[in-house]
Amino acid sequence: MDSICVFCGSSMGARSDYRDAAEATGRAIARSGRRLVYGGAKVGLMGVVADAALAEGGEVVGVLPRALQEKELAHEGLSALHVVASMHERKAMMADLSDGFLALPGGAGTLEELFEIWTWGQLGYHRKPCGFLNVAGFYDGLLAFLDLQREEAFVRPEMRAMVKVADTPEALIAEFETYTAPDTPKWIERAET
């Protein structure tokens, strides 16, 4: 695993725990000798995770839609910044550049990005790990809902188990290192409904 993509908020959130976790994540990725891939912005938790990885001497690659660059949100101090035409191109490039996907606290965009990666994994488009850094219980309610989806037979147990969860970036990276994608097909047979 050479690169870890981080999805996170473009704001700081309400708690200092979120900023601390973003800093710890950037440091942990750089210290592990891996490249950080992220959304390319200088604002919010996005800027914090990038700055922390850079401060540790890490390689940081950003992928930013042109419309956000034009709003002067681009982080100018990155190892590389790819400016793309759309959010769709951004997500595709981030997926191609990354070997694992970690979600820090964030809003709808953070969730959408991780869920799309998880869905692609379920469909067999990739065999890469993904997970949530559950900072101060931020994702507790969401994780309970994902468990409900499994209990109600909308998600197979193997598919639910694809989403890793940890309280520290080091623990989540360790989960990624031992990850094996399920060989079970996503589709539920008619007899199972």
Structural domain range at position 40: 3-177
Packed helices 108-122 and 87-97: angle between N→C axes, nearest 10 degrees: 60
**pLDDT at 193 (0 to 100):** 46
pLDDT per residue as tens digits for the range 43-85: 999 999 999 999 999 999 999 999 888 787 899 999 999 999 9
Residue 171 predicted with pLDDT over 60: yes
Give the separation between CA 135 and CA 146, rounded to whole angstroms: 17
Mean pLDDT of 151-171: 95
- Structural domains in the chain (count): 1
The H-assigned helical ranges of the chain are: 16-31, 44-55, 66-70, 87-97, 108-122, 140-151, 157-160, 169-177
CATH for 95: 3.40.50.450
Residue 116, domain member (yes or no): yes
Residue 188, domain member (yes or no): no
Q: Is the full-model pTM beyond 0.75? A: yes
